[in-house]
């Protein structure tokens, strides 16, 4: 026959397992909602790079539409080397 103490121990173990399972589930869901903080240095560096790219593209476009595109592009290449 089943002893009453065995049933009580099984019930306590089930309650403990349920409590720890719920705590673990809550911890996992709270971690998913956290997003990394904004990185201002990265944002500013990205803006600087995009600005430099736009300026370079504008210089190349103006060089290719000028009176002497070959000379203008050569001047841009020489200026970049220095």
Q: Write the pLDDT tens digit of every residue in 42-69.
A: 999 999 999 999 999 998 898 888 888 8
Q: How far apart are CA 16 and CA 8, in angstroms?
A: 12
* pLDDT tens-place string over residues 3-47: 777 788 888 888 888 888 877 766 655 555 567 778 899 999 999
Residues 30 and 42 in one domain: no
Res 66: pLDDT: 81
64 contact partners, CB below 8 Å, separation of at least 6: 72, 73
Q: How far apart are CA 61 and CA 40, in angstroms?
A: 32
Please name which of 50, 47, 76, 48 lies closest in space to residue 61, comparing C-alpha atoms. 76
**38 DSSP 8-state letter:** P
Residues 69 and 29 in one domain: no
Residues 51 and 20 in one domain: no
* 1 or 81: which leads in pLDDT: 81
Residues 81 and 55 in one domain: yes
Res 28: pLDDT: 57
**What pTM was computed for the model?**
0.47
Residues 69 and 30 in one domain: no
Residues 81 and 45 in one domain: yes
Res 49: pLDDT: 95
State the DSSP H helix or E strand holding residue 23, giving kind and residue range, or none if neither. helix 4-33
Q: Is 48 helix (H, G, I), strand (E, B) or coil?
A: helix
Q: Which domain holds residue 19?
A: 1-35
- Counting the structural domains of the chain, the total is 2
Residues 29 and 58 in one domain: no
């Amino acid at each position: 026959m089943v002893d009453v103490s065995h049933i009580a121990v099984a019930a306590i173990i089930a309650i403990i397992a349920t409590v720890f399972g719920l705590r673990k589930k809550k911890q996992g869901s709270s971690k998913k909602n956290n997003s990394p903080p904004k990185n201002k240095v990265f944002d500013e560096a990205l803006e600087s790079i995009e600005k430099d790219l736009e300026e370079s593209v504008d210089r190349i476009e103006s060089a290719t539409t000028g009176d002497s595109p070959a000379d203008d592009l050569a001047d841009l290449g020489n200026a970049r080397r220095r």
